[in-house]
Every structure is written in structure tokens, then in C-alpha cells.
Structure 1
Amino acid sequence: MTAEAVAGPPTIAIAMGDPAGIGAELLAALLAAPDLRNAARFIVFGDKRILDAGAEVAGVDPAVAVAAVDAEFAPAVGRPLLVDLGHLGPDEVTPRTATLAGGRFATENFRHALRHAAAGKADAVFFTPFNKAAMRFAYPGYDDEIRFVRDAIGFDGPASEFNILENLWNARVTSHIPLSGVSAAITEERIVRALALCDRAMRAAGFATPRIAVAGLNPHAGDGGNFGREEIDVIAPAVARAKTEGFAAEGPFPSDTVFLRARNGDFDAVLTMYHDQGQIAMKLMGFDRGVTLIGGFPFPICTPAHGTAYEIAGQGIANPGASRAALSLAIRMARDAVKRSAAAA
């Protein structure tokens, strides 16, 4: 009997995101898709009234089973289970607006999903888009999802966001910090650590030996020191060290051309020095298909790379492509992890 047969399909914990955007309509469409609902067990944390409103906008019937938060529940393949927290009604939502109520809704759902996975009851987490302003209203210490996940499950190991477009990945050394602080934050140790985390996450997603290009910081990768010395003093030594540690890393390369090479198949991933250096390139190549993976935690956490799209919420025109890709990645990574665990048992 195969490891997959022994383990069975994975379980995905799903958190409903900001209620004022397109998240509920996207989630309803995903839950109604036969291929997705038959590929895994889904347990959704949220409010059925919000999901029903989203289903009406999307014109679908997600046909979920419903359980109370204090009940015994177990999701089944083909029938998503909604744990109805009953904490927000549609009349309490201010459409297309970041609010404290919306932030509380999203943070509570996310916390439940994370702790469910941390307790070993789910193999991955997926969430529909959050609004960062609303999250800060509800959780003043909120910097980004990584900080929230650390606090929710008590994890202090290395973690990072990865942007993914089909088989092309983008990792980064620094993330949500001011651009004025990037140069000082780039160190050899941080670059090597980012490369190691990227390699580990990509192997968990099925890459045998991830080929990672490292972008420079300055124009033309510093042009031999004419436009800055970070490439010479920090980035190149980090790449050399990473190679000695067994990583398939190359660079530093000028950031204005490295994504062209990666898109053409020379590399599987690009490690950039700061947030928008990679985000702009990835979103230009496939905004409606991009995925964000929060890697480094004991389980994968996936979401579409786009935001709450307040400007089109409630119109029934939201494109589910990125959300479908994110949920599919969560299923695939969870399934592979379940197989590995079953084979090792």
C-alpha cells in the first residue's frame, strides 16, 4: 500500500480574511469547485453569514457542513466544514472599508486556523486576503503575517514570505522595512540564512535542487563598485559561502535583468534584497496568478499575492485565479508532507 493511501488526503485549515473586500466571494467559489473540494479536507474558520453573502455575489453554492466552535468536528473530503464563530454579521460590515470590526474578524479566524494546524489537526493553512490597516486596528503589534503567526503559535525560528508564479519563486532578504534601512540590514549572515530558508521551502514544494539567482542591491549590481560596494563587500561573499554550504546559488546579478533570465528558465528562484525589488517584477508577470507562501513554519501557509480589492468588492467580477493557485499549492505541499510522514512511520 502506498504512503498516500495510508495517509489519506491532507486537511487544510482556512481562515476567512477581511470581510469588506473580495475574500468571501473568492472563498465561496473555491469551496464550490469540485476538483478542489475532492482533493483535500477543508475546515473553514469564519462566519456562515459572511460566506453566504460572498456565495450570493459569486453566484455559487459552496454546500458546506456547519459546526459550532465548541463542538467535535472532523471535515470530510468533498464536503467542506465551516466552524461558525458567529462573530460578524453582514449588517456589521462596512463595504470596501478597513475597520476595527473587519480586523477583529480576520485576526480571530486566522488565529483559530493557525492553532488548529499547530495542534496537528491540519496540514496547511490558507487564508483569503487581509487588509493590513484593519489588522492593525485589531492587533496593534501587527507588522505582517509573519509576526502574527509567531505570536499565535509561539514560534521563534526563521521564516519568510515567498512570492510564487507557477514554477518561479521570489525570496527576499529584507521585507517590511523602510527603503532607507535596507542597506544597513543586508548582511552576509542574513543573505545566507535567506538562501537556506528558500532552498528548504522549495524542496518541500517538490524542487530537487533549487537554482537560486541572487540580485544585487544597486543599479547594475554596483557596476564594479562605481554605484556602491554592497555587492563586493557583502552579497558576493554571501553567495560564495552559500555555495560552499551546498546551495545552488549564483550572483549577484543586476536586478533589472535577473528576472528575465529566471522567467526564461535559467533559475528557479530569485533572492532579492528588499520587498518591492521582487514584488514589482512578479506582479507584472502574473498579478492574477501570484501566490504568497509564508515559509519556515511547521506547516505551509498560503494566500493569493493580491490584496482585498475593495474597489471591485461585491460586483461578482473578482478573478479567483490567484486564490485557486494558492489553495492548490497548500494542498500539494500538505499532501507531500503527509506522504513523507507516512513513509517515515
Structure 2
Amino acid sequence: MPNPLNRLPMVLTMGDPAGIGPEIIAGAMIEHPDLLAKEVVVAGDVRVLRRAGELVAKERGLALPEWLELTGLDSWQPQVGRLAVVQACEPVRDLQMGQVSASSGLAAAQCIEWAANRALQGMASAVVTAPIHKEALSAAGVHHPGHTEFFQALAAEHLGVKVDSLPVRMMLSCPGLCTVLVSIHVSLREAIAAVTSAQVLQTLRLTVDHFQRCGHPRVRIAVAGLNPHAGEGGLFGREEIDAIAPAVQAAQADGVQVVGPVAPDTVFMRARRGEFDVVIAMYHDQGLIPVKLLGLDEGVNTTIGLPFVRTSPDHGTAFDLAGTGRANPASLWAAIEAARGMSLQV
């Protein structure tokens, strides 16, 4: 029987069970029980999630809404005051909070696969992911450097195409700033080599497509330079002349509202003041540092280019906080709200 809202649920993965993921899920559940009960199904280890909920409720001195255990999404019926959860991984044994382990990495990976498969099968409106630990993933034999590449591989496999045929990008946003990265989890040396006209233009096109699907057809884009002062006409490097400017010109010829290369030491300030809607950053830290500086508690990571909506909080597993019940769920809640808004548009 269809749910009374006639709406597919979002799937929220628990992240690394040794990190703060289960606890920020519990915190969001306490703060926003009605919306989460109506629209979210958690994919994780039921025992781990129950324990995290009890810990957070005790730390806050508040009652935790009940869990509603499901066998799958086909049996989901929203119940106010009860957050739905599915055992989406093998039970985690001998969990050590704040410690890297293969068992935790495996559980996180299994939850990611479970959620991605439901979204790809049209059973979920969006996927929201709690933080994972890359070292734990690697210890479990999962050789993807992060969520973004993992979801890209799963989606490509589902579609029957090569990974390179399904380009994706990370988009990081917080109140007042949005940035999309040309390269993701690679060394700085590799990131510089990835600054090519083709890569920059592909990033621009993916960004435009994402904003169009979300109801913003005339997004204003600034493309950051790679070198100090955007190269100063070739004095500090030729990437702006040889790679970035040609990509910007090609996008402009397609009707994209874009400028660049813009000096990277001022472009984020100008965007925050309202001159641009989004900044294309040349590498991971160039884009993430300003977003995390301005709004870590409300930062959202969105994967653009996937055939489904996927967001996550813009922070890591915070092993130093894991097991205390004090982790702030604000960024997770922002990711849930962002996914909800995007899924209503696409």
C-alpha cells in the first residue's frame, strides 16, 4: 500500500559506526522528529543506531523518538514520532568508538551500496550520507577515495557505462557561498595537472545542468584562477591562459553566464557579497577552505552529475567526539533540507 504522502522516502546512511554519524542522526531525530519520521529511512546497523540514540538522549536530557524497524523500503509507512530504520549492513562486532577498523568501514560501505541501489531503482527520492572514514573503507577493501567516487562507480555500473562516461563533481555550499570543484580527492600535483580546458568546461556544464534542474536556469558563475592573481598574464603560470580562459569562452559561447579566470584570493569574497551564485574552484582545498571557514556547522556537500540526489554534511567522522553524544547535527540537518529541496525540483 503506498504511503499516505505519496512520496518516496529519502535514505539516510549511518556513516562510519565508530564516528559521529549515528549520533548526529539521533540528534537530528530529537530536534526534528516529525519531518524525519515522515520523509526519512535510515540505512544502518540497528543496534549501533539504538545505542547512539540512547547516548544522545541521555546527554541532552531529552526523550528519543522510537525506532521503526523495516525489512525494506517497500514496507515503509510513515509514522509520526517513529523514525524508520533498515538493517542495511552486517552487524558490527566489537565496535570501538573513535577507532579505525575494517568492520566499521565494511558496514559503512554496505550502507552506501544499499542506499545507492534503492535510489538507482527509483525507490528513494534522495540519499543523504553521514560521514565515513576513508582509511576504514580502505581497510575493508573498498578502494574508493570517498563517497563521491563510490557513488559514481555504483551509478556507472547500474547504467552499464564506464565510470569516465558518468562525470561527477563535488559541490560545497553554506549560507552565502557555493563552490564546485574541478578535481576531488587527488594530490595537489595531480590536481594541477587536472586543470585542463576539457575538465574546466565539463565542470561548468555539470554545474549549469544541476542548477537548471533545480529551477535556476540563469546561474551566475565565476571561475577561479589557479595561480596567485590568476597568473598575472602569464607571469605566475600559464594555466589561466592555456586552460581556464578557453573553457570560460566556450561556455560563454553556449550562453552560460560565466566570468573568469578571477583571482582566487578575492573570488570567494565577491561571491559572498552576492556578485556570483557559484564559484568553480580548481582543486579540493581551494574550494573547501572558504566554505568550511564561513559555515562548517551548516555546510552541505552535494554530488552533481549523478542520476539521483545525494548530499552529506560538510564534515568528517570526528573520532575525537565519537561516543560523547555532543556532536552537532546542524550540518546533517542542512544536508537533509538541501536534499529535500532538490528532490522536489528534479
Q: For the Cα contact (< 8 Å) 1:30–1:36, is it kept in 2?
A: no
Q: 1:84 to 1:119 in 2, by over 3 A?
A: same
Q: 1:231 to 1:187 in 2, by over 3 A?
A: same
What is the match of residue 253 of structure 2?
A: 244
RMSD: 2.0
What is the match of residue 50 of structure 1?
A: 48
What is the match of residue 318 of structure 1?
A: 327
What is the match of residue 142 of structure 1?
A: 144
Q: For the Cα contact (< 8 Å) 2:298–2:331, is it kept in 1?
A: yes
Q: Secondary structure at the match of 2:298?
A: coil
| Offset of residue 28 of structure 1 | 1.3
Higher mean alpha-carbon deviation, 300-309 vs 52-61, is at 52-61
The residue type equivalent to 2:46 in the other structure is K
What is the match of residue 270 of structure 2?
A: 261
What is the match of residue 208 of structure 2?
A: 199
Higher mean alpha-carbon deviation, 156-165 vs 214-223, is at 156-165
The residue type equivalent to 1:34 in the other structure is P
Separation of aligned partners in 2, 1:269 and 1:8: 34
The residue type equivalent to 2:36 in the other structure is R
**Runs (5+) with no aligned partner, structure 1:** 1-5, 338-345
| Offset of residue 61 of structure 1 | 1.4
Q: Secondary structure at the match of 2:312?
A: strand
Q: Deviations over 1:120-170 (max 9, x none)?
A: 100100111101111111134212223211333315412111101135311
Separation of aligned partners in 2, 1:62 and 1:280: 36
**Runs (5+) with no aligned partner, structure 2:** 58-62
Q: For the Cα contact (< 8 Å) 1:116–1:122, is it kept in 2?
A: yes
Separation of aligned partners in 1, 2:40 and 2:34: 13
Q: For the Cα contact (< 8 Å) 1:11–1:43, is it kept in 2?
A: yes
Q: For the Cα contact (< 8 Å) 2:248–2:260, is it kept in 1?
A: yes
Q: Secondary structure at the match of 1:169?
A: strand
Q: Deviations over 1:198-235 (max 9, x none)?
A: 11222333423111110000001001111011111111
Q: For the Cα contact (< 8 Å) 2:200–2:247, is it kept in 1?
A: yes
Higher mean alpha-carbon deviation, 147-156 vs 248-257, is at 147-156
What is the match of residue 102 of structure 2?
A: 100
What is the match of residue 61 of structure 1?
A: 64
Separation of aligned partners in 1, 2:276 and 2:8: 30
Q: For the Cα contact (< 8 Å) 2:311–2:339, is it kept in 1?
A: yes
Q: Secondary structure at the match of 1:310?
A: coil
What is the match of residue 133 of structure 1?
A: 135
Q: For the Cα contact (< 8 Å) 1:41–1:80, is it kept in 2?
A: no
Q: 1:160 to 1:84 in 2, by over 3 A?
A: same
What is the match of residue 60 of structure 2?
A: none
What is the match of residue 343 of structure 1?
A: none
Q: Secondary structure at the match of 1:277?
A: helix
Separation of aligned partners in 1, 2:77 and 2:29: 13
Q: Secondary structure at the match of 1:225?
A: coil
Q: For the Cα contact (< 8 Å) 1:28–1:62, is it kept in 2?
A: no
Q: 1:50 to 1:251 in 2, by over 3 A?
A: same
Q: For the Cα contact (< 8 Å) 2:224–2:267, is it kept in 1?
A: yes
Q: For the Cα contact (< 8 Å) 1:215–1:253, is it kept in 2?
A: yes
Counting only pairs closer than 5 Å after superposition, residues 149-168 of structure 1 correspond to structure 2 as 149-153=151-155, 154=157, 155=159, 156=163, 157-166=166-175, 168=177
| Offset of residue 7 of structure 1 | 7.8
Separation of aligned partners in 2, 1:37 and 1:72: 18
Does 2:311 align with 1:302? yes
Does 2:93 align with 1:84? no
Separation of aligned partners in 2, 1:63 and 1:149: 30
Separation of aligned partners in 2, 1:62 and 1:160: 36
Separation of aligned partners in 2, 1:136 and 1:252: 37
| Offset of residue 192 of structure 1 | 0.8
Separation of aligned partners in 1, 2:246 and 2:74: 54
Q: For the Cα contact (< 8 Å) 2:33–2:65, is it kept in 1?
A: no
| Offset of residue 72 of structure 1 | 5.0
| Offset of residue 87 of structure 1 | 2.5
Higher mean alpha-carbon deviation, 142-151 vs 310-319, is at 142-151
Separation of aligned partners in 1, 2:258 and 2:234: 21
Q: For the Cα contact (< 8 Å) 2:309–2:343, is it kept in 1?
A: yes
Q: For the Cα contact (< 8 Å) 1:146–1:294, is it kept in 2?
A: yes
Higher mean alpha-carbon deviation, 222-231 vs 28-37, is at 28-37
Q: For the Cα contact (< 8 Å) 2:300–2:312, is it kept in 1?
A: yes
Q: Deviations over 1:90-109 (max 9, x none)?
A: x6211101110100110011
What is the match of residue 224 of structure 2?
A: 215
